[in-house]
Amino acid sequence: MRARVLIRPKAGILDPQGQAVERALPALGFTGVSEVHVGRLVELEVQDESQLPAMCERLLANPLIEEYEIQTGHTAAWGERASEEGTAA
Amino acid sequence: MRARVLIRPKAGILDPQGQAVERALPALGFTGVSEVHVGRLVELEVQDESQLPAMCERLLANPLIEEYEIQTGHTAAWGERASEEGTAA
């Protein structure tokens, strides 16, 4: 089954990437943007989804400073959603 | 409004992080995992969601090698979903 893991810095943990994006956007003319946070996205095909929390704890995320969210039930494989929201080229 | 942008390497583009994860998982005892891809997650509060595609094209993603997916309608702020799927500690 297809699974997706969203990993983000925990609230209160420094997020320098998010800060950098938040500062860069106004310089490019984008206003009204706040609370920018940057994390990681892991998509994978897994036979036993019950392994996912352990995989997150042991490899995918750093549970000391990151929180993770597991989403399952996505059936589209990598690349199949390319035209869904936008892929420039 | 709260928005989320999922950014991943386009199909066919080298994904060394995904390969590294895919190789590391069996060594930790996790089997049956394949097609691992690692991308970025950006969550932000934006007043005008029509700006999001341009923000992706110009700053958040590299449209030459990455595809992005914009999700809106998430109302939870950063950190509010901490206990939804799992936050260790």
Residue (of A61, A64, A74) closest to A6 by Cα position: A61
Inspect the interface and report whether the beta carbons of A78 and B8 lie closer than 8 Å: yes
> Residue A3: pLDDT above 80?
yes
Strand order from edge to edge, sheet including B33-46: A66-72, A2-9, A33-46, B33-46, B2-9, B66-72
Domain spanning B2-75: CATH 3.40.50.300 = no
From chain A, the residues in CB contact with B64 under 8 A are 89
* Interface probe, candidates B34, B46, B49, chain A, greatest A C-beta count within 10 A: B46
Q: Tell me the CA distances in angstroms from A79 to A45, A49, B55, one per residue in order.
A: 14, 21, 21
d(CA B1, CA B15): 31
pLDDT in the model for residue A80 = 54
Q: Which residue has the tokens 């583009």?
A: B13
pLDDT in tens, A8-28: 999 999 999 999 999 999 999
Confidence band of B82 (pLDDT split at 50, 70, 90) = very low
* pLDDT for A66 beyond 60: yes
A1: closest chain B residue by CA: B33
pLDDT tens across B25-78, in order?
Answer: 999 999 999 999 999 999 999 999 999 999 999 999 999 999 999 999 764 555
> Are B67 and A53 in contact (CB < 8 Å)?
no
Closest CA to A5 of B58, B3, B8: B8
What is the number of residues in chain A? Answer: 89
Chain A: residue nearest B87 by CA? A67
